[in-house]
Amino acid sequence: MKRIITGVFALLAFITLTTTDTSAQELGGTIPTVSVNGSSQLKVSPDEIYISIKLDESDTKGKVTLEEQRRSMFAALKKAGVDAEKQLSVVDMNSSFYRRRGALAVTQYELKVATAEQVGKVFEALEKAGIPNVNVTRTAYSKMEELRSEARKAAIINAQQRARELAEAIGQSIGACYEINDYTTTTQPVVYRSKMMLANSASLDAATEEAEPNVEFEQIVVSYNVSAKFLLNLK
């Protein structure tokens, strides 16, 4: 009797193995999967805007000293609501010879502000103070790493949703994700644009002087892409 039972189990095992091998052959010896791409794009307004301010005695042919320009600058920044002690730093100090009359001093400052509105007020105040060499040099976002992390998560969720939609279209479902490849995160360069002539203009006309400074910045765009493979659950 024991020999008969053993023989039956051996026969069942053989049938199971044969069936498994046949299924693998029907699938071409590969695991059924679905491969998809996922992407995400997040936009944010810059909250760190850097302004270059250059004080140069040669702008007035030496008639206005650097110290006088500096006092005018600090007064203008205070009027614009800037805390110069916290937001302003000296980048470079040097002097150059001008027509052999002696050295004319030059000082470069960098001012950090948080909003486009404050940029407009700073430019307007400095221009009225007679300080023409003012430019926006760069912008940034203070929580860029958190933004990149959020973009990565959004991209893989997007890939999973695409895989699920493809599987459902053929009456199947997805299983575990067993492979993920991510692509380089790209931060789109921020383009500075203004609705008023902010830098290197001789004077503001009467209409502009009365108008509220209107400055705009392109948003920072963070894009992320992934490719992923999910197992297909056959029905």
Residues 36/230, Cβ–Cβ less than 8 Å: yes
**pLDDT of 205 higher than 50:** no
Task: Please report where in the chains the tokens 């916290």 appear, as a residue.
Answer: 86
Residues 109/99, Cβ–Cβ less than 8 Å: no
DSSP letter, residue 213: P
Domain boundaries, the chain: 28-45+142-235, 48-140
Q: Is 189 exposed, middle or buried (0-12, 13-18, 19+ CB in 10 A)?
A: exposed
Q: What is the DSSP string of 58-87?
A: GGGTTSS-HHHHHHHHHHHHHHTT--HHHH
pLDDT at position 1 is 44
Q: Which CATH number fits domain 48-140: 1.25.40.10, 3.30.70.120, 3.20.20.60, 1.20.210.10?
A: 3.30.70.120
pLDDT at position 22 is 36
Helix axes 116-128, 66-79, angle to 10 degrees: 140
Among 4-13, 41-50, 167-176, which stretch is predicted with the lowest mean pLDDT? 4-13
pLDDT at position 17 is 31
Among 6-20, 154-168, 196-210, which stretch is predicted with the lowest mean pLDDT? 6-20
What's the predicted TM-score (pTM) here? 0.67
Q: What is the mean pLDDT of the chain?
A: 77
**pLDDT of 42 higher than 50:** yes
Query: Could you report the per-residue pLDDT of 136-190, keeping only the tens digit for each?
Result: 998 999 999 999 999 999 999 999 999 999 999 999 999 999 999 988 676 766 5
Q: Which residues sit opposite 1 in a β-bridge?
A: none
Query: Could you report the per-residue pLDDT of 46-95, keeping only the tens digit for each?
Result: 999 999 999 887 766 767 888 899 999 999 999 999 999 899 998 876 65
Give domain 28-45+142-235's CATH architecture.
Answer: 2-Layer Sandwich (3.30)
Determine how many CB atoms are found less than 10 A away from the CB of residue 53.
21
pLDDT at position 4 is 38
Which contacts (CB < 8 Å, 24+ apart) does range 10-17 have?
none
